Every structure is written in C-alpha cells, then in structure tokens.
Amino acid sequence: MDKKVLVMCSGNSCRSIIGEALVNKYLDNIKAYSCGIAPTGKVNPNAKKILELYSAWDDTLYSKHLDEVIDIPFDLVVTVCDQAKESCPVFPKSVKKIHIGFEDPDGKDFDEFEKTYRLIKKELLKAIKKEISK
C-alpha cells in the first residue's frame, strides 16, 4: 500500500506543485498530494513549464485548498514555505510534520524555477524517503 504525503505551501502554485509532481515521478510506493493554505487557484505557468521540460507534468495537477485533502490519511505532511509552517493546521488523524523551506520563485525569471526544481528534487525527495522509511 502506498504511503501518502502532503506537500503544503501558501499559494499551491509553484513549490508544492513541483514537489507533488516530483514525488509522484521519482518515489516508488509514495503518493503525493499538494495544497495551499491560501491557494491562488492556478498553477504558475513557469512551474508547469519546468515540469513539462523534465517530463514531470501531469494534467491532474491543480492549485487546491487544504480543505480538499484534509480528510486523506497522510503518513507525512511537508511544509515548503514558512507561512504554511506557521499556519499548519491540526489534521483529523495524528500525522508527522516536517518543514523544508524553499524560496518562492513566483514573479522571478525562469532560471529561478529551474533552481527551485533542482533544489526540490535534491532536498525534498531525500527528506521524504528518510522520513517515510522511519
């Protein structure tokens, strides 16, 4: 049975979407979801572009509010921005939470999305594998 991981940030338009896509592409037996505490309602075009560039885009990805996923029994919740860490809610079932912050590339050049993609792939995936295997 797959472990379930939630990647959470404030807007759910860049970092958490990239995280969800990369976990689902590269980590076996782990199903990732993402959400925002104040979602923008859209995926940043450069986030989509970087995921398409590396064949990680999935048409099921979209910006969603925590309310849409809060009842899923997650094995791990990962906040990827300070605002989400500070506002991380109480979940219906006890769940382990970790924080791995990444700078928000929104509003910056495409190069920053490339940098964010690489950092998330390197740091987030390693941290999730470590936490899930405990």
Can you give the pLDDT at residue 92?
66
Catalytic residue among 7, 18, 37, 81: 81
Decide if 14 is catalytic: no
Span of 22-36, 78-92, 113-127 with lowest mean pLDDT: 78-92
State the pLDDT at residue 69.
93
pLDDT average, residue stretch 100-119: 95
Residue 134: the pLDDT is 78
Annotated active-site residue 81? The verdict is yes
Give pLDDT, residue 50.
Answer: 98
Task: Supply φ then ψ for residue 103, to 5 degrees.
Answer: -65, 140
Q: Residue 60 and residue 113: Cα distance in Å, rounded?
A: 20
Q: What is the CATH number of domain 3-129?
A: 3.40.50.2300
Catalytic pick among 88, 95, 125, 132: 88
User: Can you give the three-state secondary structure of 27-71, one letter per residue?
Assistant: CCCEEEEEEECCCCCCCCHHHHHHHHHCCCCCCCCCCCEHHHCCC
Per-residue pLDDT at 132 exceeds 80: yes
Q: Is 88 a catalytic residue?
A: yes
* Model confidence, pTM: 0.93
